[in-house]
Chains A and B, each alone.
Chain A
Amino acid sequence: MNLALPVLVPALPVLGAAATLAVGRKAPGLARPLAIVPVAVSAVLALVVALQLGTGRTLDAATRLTPTGGPDIALALHLDGFASLISVLVGLVATCVQVYSTAYLKKDPRYPSYAALVSLFTAAMFLVVYSGDLIVLLVGWEVMGLCSYFLIGHHWETADARSASLKAFLVTKLGDVPFLFGIFLLAADAGSFRIPDVLAAAGEGRLGHPTLIALLLLAGVAGKSAQFPLHTWLPDAMAGPTPVSALIHAATMVAAGIYLVARLLPVFLLSGAALVVLAVMAAVTMIGSALCALAQDDLKRVLAYSTVGQLGYMAGALASGDREASVFHLVSHGAFKALLFLAAGVVIHAAHTNSISVMSRIPGLRKRVPDAYWTMGIALVALAGLPPFSGFFSKEAVLTAAEHAANGEALTNGLGPASAVPQAAGWIVLISAALTALLTGAYATRLFLVAFHSPTGAAAAPRVLPAADPATAAADHEAGAPYSPEPDEADPATAEPPAMRWPLWVLAVPTMGFGIAGLRSDWLPALLDGGPLRPSGVTAVTGTGLALVGVLAAYGAWRSATARLGTGGPAPAAEVVVADPGRTLLGPLFGPARHGFGVDRLYDALFVRPVAAAARLVRFLDREVVETYVRGSGAGADLLGRAVRLAQTGNAQTYLSALLAAVVLLAVLVAV
C-alpha cells in the first residue's frame, strides 16, 4: 500500500501547527481554517489508511534515522489493527475538539497558539500510535507531554493554571525518567529499538530482565496514564480549557500509556510480578478515584477522577493479559469521555461555574442547554456501563478478561501462554472492577441529578442567575472543595453556537453504537487479535446489576436528601442547601474523598517540602557562601584596580621616572 498516506497523517497537523503559528497573529481569520482543516484531513487519511490496511494485516516500513553505534534508531512505521483503530479515534476526537474550540475560545486572544498546540499534540499522538520505533515513539510521547503542559497553562494568568501545568509536567516527567531507562534496557536486551524486533525477542525469550523492564516501563505508564502513585496531576490539569481536557486528558494522551503497554504486552507477559503490580495499581486507582469522583463538587474534577478510574479499568484488562478488551475500552471511553467533557464545557459556559452545587441552584439549566443535557445523559449511561451503550460492552469485555484470568485461563490471544497471567492479578482486577462498577453508577447518577435535576423551585436557594462576575461564582462553590476554575469570557446567553453543539452529537454516535462492534468476531476482534469481545453471561449480569445498584442507591440517597432539604427549610450554609447524595453514600469518607484522600498533602510532606528545603539550603549556600567568594574576588580586583589607578597620574615625568628607574635596575641586574 502507499506509504505516503500513513506518513501524511502525523505530518499534516505539524504543518498546520506551524502555519497557524506563522499566520495566526497577522491574519486571525486564517487561524481557524488552518487549525481545523489539517486535523480533519488527517482524520480522514487515518480512516483511509485503516480501511486500506484492512483486518489482520500489518504494515512495517522503516528508514534508518541515525547510526548510534548501539541499536539503530529508525524512523519506522508499524501499522496494525490497534494502531489504525486508535488513530481513527484520535482523528475523530481531535477534529471535534478543534471545531468545538473555534466557538469555545472565540474571544481568546491566544487562540492561534492554542490551536497550533492542539494540532501539534494531535500530530504527536499520531506519531506515538504509528511509530514502530521506541525512540521515535518516545519523541511523540514527550511532545505530547510538552503540549499538555502548555495547554494546561493556557490561562497562565491564574495561579491555579500555572501550578497545575507545572505539576502535570513534573509528575509525568517523574515517570518518564524510569520509562526512558526501561526503553534503553529493553533495547539493550533485544538488540533493537524496533517494536517488531522487540516483540520477536520477547517471544523467543531473549529478554534478560523482563521484570525490571516491565516495572520501569510501568512507571512511565503510570505517569502518563495517571495511575495510582502518579495520578495526582490529572484532576489539577482541569484548569486547562475544557476542550483540551476532552482531547488530551480524557481521550488520547492519557490513553497513550495503555496503548504502549498493549503494544508491548508480550514483554509484560514474561513477568508475572509486573502484571500483579499493574493489577494492584489498577485496583487502587479505580476504587480510589471512583470514591473521589463521588465527592467532588467541581464538574470537571468529577470527570477527571472518572477518567483516572476508567484508565484503571484498561490497566486492569492489561493486567489480565487481554489487550483487546483494554483497547476496546480505550476507544469507547475515548469517545464517551470526550463527549462528556465537551458537554461539560457547554454546561460550564452556560452556568458560568464549574461547581455542580451552584449549578443545582440555577433554575432551568437543562432547558438552557438541551443538547448538552441529552448527550451528557447518554455518555453518563455509557460511563456507568449500562446496556446498550458502548461503555457496557467494553466494560463487560474487561470484566470477562478478568474473570478468565482469575480462572487461570487468561485471554492472551496467542501473545503468550494463559498461565503467564497470575490468577491473583485476575482476582484483584475482577473484585475491584466490580466494586468500581457500583461506584461508577453512583457517581454518574449523582453528577446528573445534582447538576440538572435539583428541585430549584422548592429549595430556599435564591434565584441565582448565571453569575456575571467570576468572583461571586468562585465564592459560590462549596468552601474548601478542590476547584479548578477556568477564566471564561463567554456570554451565557450565547454560550453554545452550533460549532459547540454538533460535535456533541458526532461523538454521541460512537458512544451509543460502538459497543456493537465487539459482538461478532469478524468485526472488531478481527481487526485486533481475534479473541472474543462478547460479554459473558455471569459477568454481564453481575456488572450490570452492580451498576444498577449504584444508580439506584444514588437515586435513593438523592431523593431522601432532597426530601430532607424540602422539609428542613432554608439552611444557613450553602453546602447544606445542596442535596448531595455523595454525602449520604460516603458518610465519613466524604471529606477525605473530596480532597483525593490527602495524596497531594502526603506528597507535599514527603517530597515537595524536603525538596523545597533543600532548594532553600542550596540558595543559602549560593547566596551567602559562593557569592561571598565571587563578591570578594570582585572587591579584590576593585581594590587592586584602585591601587594601580594611582600610578596613572597623567604626569609624563612620573612615567619617565619609573621607566628609567626600571632601566637602571635591569642594567644592574643584568650586569651583576
Chain B
Amino acid sequence: MSPAATLLAATGSLEPAARSFLSPTGQEIVFLLVGIAVLGSAVVAVTTKQLVHAALWLIVALGGLAVEFLLLTAEFIAWVQVLIYLGSVVVLVLFGLMLTKAPIGRSPDADSKNRWVALAVALASAGTLVTLVVDAFRTSWIDLGAGGGSAAVTGASLFRNWVLPFEALSVLLLAALVGAIVLSRGDKRRVPAPRAGKLRAGRPVGSNGTVAATAPRTAPEAAGSAAGSSDAPSAGSSDAPSAPAASEES
C-alpha cells in the first residue's frame, strides 16, 4: 500500500463526530499527562542552576518520552530510547560534567547573559510551531494498532529496506568512536600550544591565567552550596557519577 493510499484510508475512515478534543480517549489522557511531565522536566532541565540536577531532569524527560513512544505503539524505539539515552548518553553527559569540573550545587551563572534573547527566540519559535502544527493537524487522527512498532516489524523493515543506511551508520559510529578517542586522548602534542600569531593585545598568554581564575571561583561556591544540594556528596565531583547511576538503576 502506497503512502498516499494509506493517507486516504486513514482520513477516509475518520468519523469526526466520534472523535473530538472534548471526549478524549484513555490513551490521550495518559499521553497528555506524560507529556506535561516531559515538558516540565525538560523546562527544569534547561533552567535549573544546579548542573548535575539538569542532567538528572534530562533523564526524567527522556524517560517520559520513552513512555510516549510506547503510547504511540513504537515499543522497540521506546526500549532503544531507554537503553541508549538513559543508559549511555546521560552517563556520558554526567562524565562530561565531572571532567570539566562543573560545580556541584547551585551556580548562579549557569545561564549566560543571552538568556532573555534566548527566551524570546524560544517563545517565538514555540508560538510559530504550535500555531502551524495545530492549524495543520487539528483534524488528523491516528489509528493506533498494536504491534505496529514491535521488534519483529521494525527489524524486518530495517534489514529489508534500510540495510544500506544502517551499514553506513555503523561506519559513522566507528568514525565517531575513533574521533572521540583521538580527540580526548590528552596527548600533549594534540593540545596546540598557545599560538603567538593569534594573540591579541592584553590577552594573557596560554590558559594558566584563566585556570587560576576559575579554580578559586568554583571552590567557595561548591563549599557554600554543598549543604543545600540534596544528592551531591560532600566529597566533590569524583562521587557525582555514582548518584545518576544509582538513580538510573532505580
Asked if B121 is at the interface (CB within 8 A of a chain A CB), the reply is yes
On whether A661 and B124 interact (CB within 8 A), knowing A653-B118, A671-B132, the answer reads yes
Q: Would you give the shortest CB distance from B165 to chain A, in whole angstroms? A: 27
B114 within 8 A of A: yes
Q: How close is A651's CB to chain B, nearest CB, in angstroms? A: 7
Find chain B residues with CB under 8 A from A657 CB: 114, 117-118, 121
Question: Residue-by-residue, is A636-672 near B (CB-CB < 8 Å gives 1, otherwise 0)?
Answer: 0000000000000001011001001100100110010
- Chain B nearest CB from A595 CB (Å) reads 65
Taking a contact as CB atoms under 8 Å apart, the answer to whether A653 and B128 are in contact is no
B125 at the interface (CB under 8 A from A): yes
A653 touches B125 (CB 8 A): no
Provide the residues of chain A in CB contact with B128, threshold 8 Å: 664, 667-668, 671
CA distance A435 to B128 in the complex (A): 108
Query: Are A664 and B132 in contact, with the CB atoms below 8 A?
Result: no
Contacting residues, chain A, for B120 (C-beta < 8 A): 661
A668 to B130, CA, bound (A): 12
B117 contacts across to A, CB distance below 8 A:
654, 657, 661
| Residue among A654, A664, A667 with max Cβ neighbours from chain B (10 Å) | A664
- Complex: how many Å from CA A653 to CA B113? 10
Given A653-B118, A657-B117, A657-B118: A664 and B124 interface contact (C-beta under 8 Å)? yes
How many chain B residues touch A (Cβ–Cβ < 8 Å)?
Answer: 10
| Interface status of B112 (Cβ within 8 A of chain A) | yes
* Chain B min CB distance to A299 (Å): 68
Give bound CA distance, A556 to B117, whole Å. Answer: 109
Report A-chain residues with C-beta under 8 Å of the C-beta of B118: 653, 657
B112 adjacent to A660 (CB under 8 Å):
no
Residues of B within 8 A of A671 (CB): 128, 132
Chain A residue at smallest Cβ distance from B112: A653
What B residues does A654 contact at CB under 8 A?
114, 117
Q: How many A-B residue pairs have CB under 8 A?
A: 25
* In the bound complex, CA of A661 to CA of B120 (Å): 9
Residues of chain A within 8 A of B132, CB atoms compared: 671
| Chain A 325-348 interface residues, beta-carbon cutoff 8 Å to B | none
A657 to B, closest residue via Cβ: B117
Q: Name B126's closest neighbour in chain A (CB-CB).
A: A664
Residues of chain B within 8 A (CB-CB) of A651 are 112, 114
Q: For chain A, give the interface size range.
A: 10 to 19
Chain A at the B interface: SS class: helix
> Which B residues from 103 to 147 make CB contacts under 8 A with A?
112, 114, 117-118, 120-121, 124-125, 128, 132
Question: Which residue of chain B is the closest to A663 with respect to CB atoms?
Answer: B125
Distance to closest chain A CB from B129 (angstroms): 9
Complex CA distance for A660 and B121, rounded to whole angstroms: 7
Residue pair B112, A664 in contact (C-beta under 8 Å): no
Residue of A nearest to B131 (CB): A671
Query: Within the complex, what minimum Cβ distance (angstroms) separates A227 from chain B?
Result: 69
**Alpha-carbon separation in the docked complex, A664 to B131 (Å):** 13
The A-contacting residues of B in range 177-220, CB under 8 angstroms, are: none
Interchain nearest-CB distance for B203 vs A (Å): 12
Which residues of chain A are within 8 angstroms of B121 by Cβ–Cβ distance?
Answer: 657, 660-661, 664
Distance (whole angstroms) from the CB of B132 to the closest CB of chain A: 7
In the assembled complex, the Cα of A568 lies from the Cα of B132 at a distance in Å of 122
CB distance from A411 to the nearest CB of B (A): 88
Which residues of B are found within 8 Å of A660, using beta-carbon distances? 121, 125
Q: State the CA gap A112–B213 with chains docked (Å).
A: 72
Q: Within residues 371 to 426 of chain A, which ones have a CB less than 8 A from any CB in chain B?
A: none
Kindly state the separation between the CA atoms of A651 and B132 in the bound complex, as whole angstroms.
31
Interface residues in B54-80 (C-beta closer than 8 Å to A): none
Q: How far is the CB of A668 from chain B (nearest CB, A)?
A: 6
Q: Which residues from A are CB-within-8-Å of B112? A: 651, 653
Complex CA gap A660/B128 in Å reads: 12
Per the bound structure, the CA–CA distance linking A105 and B117 in Å amounts to: 83
Please measure, in the bound complex, the distance between the C-alpha atom of A173 and the C-alpha atom of B120, giving whole angstroms.
Answer: 75
Bound complex: CA of A657 vs CA of B112, how far in Å?
A: 12
Q: Report how far A657 CA is from B125 CA in the complex, Å.
A: 11
Cβ-closest chain B residue relative to A654: B114
Min distance, Cβ A294 to any Cβ of chain B, angstroms: 76
Q: How far is the CB of A166 from chain B (nearest CB, A)?
A: 50
When distances are taken between beta carbons in the complex, the residues of chain B under 8 Å from A664 are 121, 124-125, 128
Least CB distance from B119 to A in Å reads: 10
Residues of A contacting B124 in the complex (Cβ-Cβ under 8 angstroms)? 661, 664
- Complex Cα distance A566/B117, Å? 108
Residues of B within 8 A of A653 (CB): 112, 114, 118
B97 → chain A closest CB, angstroms: 19
Cα-based distance from A17 to B132 in the complex (angstroms): 87
Kindly list chain B residues whose C-beta atoms are within 8 Å of the C-beta of A667. Answer: 128
A657 to B132, CA, bound (A): 21
A654 to B116, CA, bound (A): 11
> How far does the alpha carbon of A671 sit from the alpha carbon of B118 in the complex, in Å?
23
Q: How far is the CA of A654 from the CA of B117 in the complex (A)?
A: 9
How distant is B212 from chain A, measured CB to nearest CB, in Å?
Answer: 22
A621 to B228, CA, bound (A): 75
CA distance in complex: A446, B146 (Å): 136
Rounded to whole angstroms, the CA-CA distance of A671 and B124 in the bound complex is 14
Docked Cα-Cα span, A667 to B125, in Å, equals 9
Q: How far is the CB of A592 from chain B (nearest CB, A)?
A: 71
Q: What is the distance, in angstroms, from B117's C-beta to the closest C-beta of chain A?
A: 5
Q: Considering the chains assembled together, what is the distance between the CA atoms of A668 and B128 in angstroms?
A: 7
Q: Report Cα–Cα, A661/B132, bound state, in Å.
A: 17
User: Which of chain A's residues has its CB closest to B132's CB?
Assistant: A671
Name the residue of chain B whose CB is nearest to the CB of A660: B121
A657 to B115, CA, bound (A): 10
**Alpha-carbon gap, A628 to B114, bound state (A):** 41
Bound: A304/B214 CA distance, A: 90
**What is the bound-complex CA distance between A311 and B121, given in angstroms?**
92
Contact partners of B125 in chain A: CB under 8 A: 660, 664
* Nearest residue, chain A, Cβ from B124: A664
CB closest residue in chain B, given A665: B124
Q: Bound complex: CA of A623 vs CA of B1, how far in Å?
A: 82
- Tell me, in angstroms, the Cα distance from A671 to B127 when the chains sit together: 13
Closest chain B residue to A662, Cβ basis: B121
Shortest beta-carbon distance from B178 to chain A in Å: 26
Q: Which A-B residue pairs are the 6 nearest by beta carbons?
A: A664-B124, A657-B117, A653-B114, A661-B121, A664-B125, A660-B121
* Known pairs A661-B124, A667-B128 / 11 extra A-B pairs, C-beta < 8 Å: A651-B112, A653-B114, A654-B114, A657-B114, A657-B117, A660-B121, A660-B125, A661-B117, A661-B120, A664-B128, A668-B128
Query: What are 24 A-to-B residue pairs whose CB atoms are below 8 Å?
Result: A651-B112, A651-B114, A653-B112, A653-B114, A653-B118, A654-B114, A654-B117, A657-B114, A657-B117, A657-B118, A657-B121, A660-B121, A660-B125, A661-B117, A661-B120, A661-B121, A661-B124, A664-B121, A664-B124, A664-B125, A664-B128, A667-B128, A668-B128, A671-B132
